């Protein structure tokens, strides 16, 4: 039996491929950048052909780097951002903007053009909304579909298929129109626990034509993640990827859920799959907590049945901007484009990693870096608050700015920004616990959480131990588990999780004076957050 599996991850800025052995050891990886088009506030688009080319190039490079051939690859799994892909007749891409450029056929997850549509959907109060935390987000797909119908009616009417990006990739690879339970349940309002779409919801929100068409354009066959699709790779896709035709392909997951899959079931460390909260820290940040019974948490998406781990309910929260929020925050500082960029470039580092290194060099323990934030408090909600307040209109706010312009002050601002993300995570944990969720550890994945100082600050902000996977790429690993399951290398997805992942390190939270300081800073964070909301209401004439 072939013993290597490919995990393919399509994030906001790149496509990556990783090759893993049966024990979850990564033997090679490769990445390619993908284009992101930002034509205005709230607009973010991509091109499915560009993404497929990046996927293929990454796979080819990773296979060659490992010294393998198509004969050695037992299965493939995909994960991707929860972006909307519009495909027309004969499988051709269709434009999703007034620009008319058909190659740009993806409305990216972070695109907020459908904010008004989301508001109107929420005003219906439909019972389906109870399974998205009580309030649907403009980042989800039905508001985006409604926007298309209202603003590009010809495109909407003539589109052949609307895909979540992970499902588009598996279709491109296998020609199967099957959708993953993960994508349609988490982002399209499919009721997985009842195995049905709710016709009434679609009719009430203005998308009744989808129901009348039997949901053929958004998914009739719904399957668990890791299910083997069709006959595996088509001859055309195999040629693109330089792999063998019929190589098994598993139904995909949303990228954050793949990170959860690759981390929460790891052997060792505190907790279990039902008491660990996955924290996938990348361009955005997602939290995922599994439970045996459904838990309804206001402002937290779900509960979703079998969306990540078969048979378990999933509650999903997070922050619309995380790594991207830190980038935005530091870009405001006078030193960011000057001294910081120059020093970072000379050392081959990104500016955030340089600032993390500088902060670490200033303290004897990583936990003491909290002192570097001094009087700065940051609520980094540049793209709104996804959880637990479900407020897409929220915006970032900074308290404590002075006239400083130097690199040291930029380090302070950076640390305050990381703390702001940590306190936002703390709010999600608190909201979950209030409704009965048991959370005793965090399982970390994602590129923005690689620095040891960042990991320690997240543990300290939340007061929970942070579990670090043995393998440095849990998102890719989770995707590879899908391919291994599709190939029948393991009995099921749970068996793949047990065999392929383990905890490599546990970061314990600070106690004593440091913990008390975080309590005070958290109180300041919440006060600033509430003040920002109050100011917005005043400016809007609401108070």
Question: pLDDT category, 269, cuts 50, 70, 90?
Answer: confident
Tens digit of each residue's pLDDT (9 = 90 or more) over 417-428: 999 999 999 999
From residue 288, give the alpha-carbon distance in Å to each of 291, 399, 519: 10, 30, 24
Classify 78 as helix, strand or coil: strand
Task: Report whether 311 contacts 137 (CB < 8 A).
Answer: no
Q: What is the pLDDT of residue 396?
A: 96
Distance CA 525, CA 539 (A): 21
Taking the CA atoms of the chain, what radius of gyration do you get in angstroms?
A: 22
Distance CA 107, CA 225 (A): 23
- What mean pLDDT comes out for the span 75-104? 97
Domain range summary for the chain, segments of one domain joined by +? 4-254, 323-428+511-539
pLDDT of residue 49 exceeding 90:
yes
Which range is least confidently modeled, 53-67, 192-206, 467-481? 467-481
pLDDT of residue 1 exceeding 60:
no
Tens digit of each residue's pLDDT (9 = 90 or more) over 119-171: 999 999 999 999 988 889 999 999 999 999 999 999 999 999 999 999 999 99
- What mean pLDDT comes out for the span 404-410? 95
Report the length, in residues, of the chain: 543
Q: What is the pLDDT of residue 140?
A: 96
Tens digit of each residue's pLDDT (9 = 90 or more) over 299-337: 899 999 999 999 999 999 988 889 999 999 999 999 998
270 is written with which tokens? 């505190």
Question: pLDDT category, 2, cuts 50, 70, 90?
Answer: low
From residue 445, give the alpha-carbon distance in Å to each of 272, 354, 506: 16, 20, 13
Show contacts of 534-539: CB within 8 Å, 24+ apart.
Answer: 536/393, 536/394, 536/395
Output the average pLDDT for the chain: 95
User: 4-254 — its CATH code?
Assistant: 3.30.420.40
Backbone angles phi, psi at 507, to 5 degrees: -100, 115
Does 323-428+511-539 carry CATH code 1.10.357.10? no
Distance CA 467, CA 444 (A): 6
162-179 exposure pattern, b = at least 16 Cβ within 10 A, e = fewer: bbbbbbbbbbbbbebbbb
Q: What is the pLDDT of residue 239?
A: 98
Task: Report whether 225 contacts 441 (CB < 8 A).
Answer: no
pTM: 0.90
Tens digit of each residue's pLDDT (9 = 90 or more) over 172-184: 999 999 999 999 9
Task: Report whether 86 contacts 162 (CB < 8 A).
Answer: yes
- Please state whether beta strands 301-305 and 377-379 pair in parallel, antiparallel, or not at all (unpaired): unpaired
Q: What is the pLDDT of residue 365?
A: 97
Classify 468 as helix, strand or coil: strand
Q: What is the pLDDT of residue 271?
A: 86
pLDDT of residue 34 exceeding 90:
yes
Q: What is the pLDDT of residue 368?
A: 98
End-to-end alpha carbon distance in the chain: 67
């Amino acid at each position: 039996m072939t013993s290597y599996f490919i995990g393919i991850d399509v994030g906001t800025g790149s496509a990556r491929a990783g090759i893993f052995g049966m024990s979850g050891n990564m033997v090679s990886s490769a990445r390619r950048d993908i284009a992101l088009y930002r034509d205005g506030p709230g607009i973010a688009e991509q091109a499915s052909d560009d993404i497929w080319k990046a996927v293929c190039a990454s796979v080819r490079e990773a296979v060659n780097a490992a010294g393998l051939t198509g004969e050695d690859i037992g299965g493939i799994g995909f994960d991707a951002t929860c972006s909307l892909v519009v495909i027309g007749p004969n499988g051709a891409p269709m434009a999703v903007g007034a620009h008319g450029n058909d190659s740009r056929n993806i409305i990216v997850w972070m695109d907020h053009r459908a904010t008004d549509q989301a508001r109107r959907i929420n005003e219906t109060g439909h019972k389906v909304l109870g399974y998205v935390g009580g309030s649907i987000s403009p980042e989800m797909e039905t508001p985006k579909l409604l926007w298309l119908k209202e603003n590009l009616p010809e495109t909407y009417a003539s589109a052949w298929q609307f895909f979540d990006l992970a499902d588009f990739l598996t279709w491109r690879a296998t020609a199967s129109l099957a959708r993953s339970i993960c994508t349609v349940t988490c982002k399209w309002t499919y009721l997985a626990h009842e195995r049905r779409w709710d016709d009434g919801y679609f009719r009430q929100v203005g998308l009744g034509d989808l129901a009348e068409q039997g949901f053929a354009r958004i998914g009739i066959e719904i399957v668990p993640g890791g299910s083997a699709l069709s006959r595996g790779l088509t001859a055309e896709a195999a040629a693109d990827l330089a792999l063998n035709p019929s190589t098994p392909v598993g139904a995909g997951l949303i990228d954050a859920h793949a990170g959860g899959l690759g981390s929460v079931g790891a052997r060792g460390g505190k907790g279990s799959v039902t008491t660990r909260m996955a924290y996938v820290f990348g361009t955005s940040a997602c939290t995922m907590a599994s439970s045996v019974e459904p838990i309804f948490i206001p402002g937290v998406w779900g509960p979703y049945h079998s969306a990540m781990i078969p048979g378990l309910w999933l509650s999903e929260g997070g922050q619309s901007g995380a790594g991207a929020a830190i980038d935005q925050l530091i870009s405001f500082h006078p030193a960011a484009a000057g001294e910081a960029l120059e020093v970072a470039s000379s050392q081959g580092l990104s500016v955030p990693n340089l600032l993390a290194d500088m902060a670490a060099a200033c303290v004897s323990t990583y936990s003491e870096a909290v002192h570097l934030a001094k009087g700065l408090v940051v609520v980094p909600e540049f793209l709104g608050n996804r959880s637990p307040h479900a407020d897409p209109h929220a915006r970032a706010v900074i308290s404590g700015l002075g006239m400083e312009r130097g690199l040291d002050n930029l380090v302070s601002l950076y640390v305050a920004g990381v703390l702001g993300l940590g306190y936002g995570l703390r709010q999600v944990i608190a909201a979950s616990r209030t409704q009965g969720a048991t959370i005793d550890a965090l399982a970390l994945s994602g590129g923005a959480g690689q620095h040891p100082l960042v990991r320690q600050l997240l543990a300290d902000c939340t007061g929970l131990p942070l579990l670090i996977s043995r393998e440095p790429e849990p998102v890719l690993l989770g995707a590879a588990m899908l391919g291994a399951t599709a190939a029948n290398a393991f009995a099921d997805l749970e068996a793949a999780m047990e065999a392929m992942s383990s905890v490599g390190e546990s970061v314990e939270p600070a106690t004593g004076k440091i913990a008390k300081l975080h309590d005070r800073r958290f109180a300041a964070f919440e006060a600033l957050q509430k003040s920002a909301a109050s100011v917005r209401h005043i400016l809007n004439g609401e108070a």
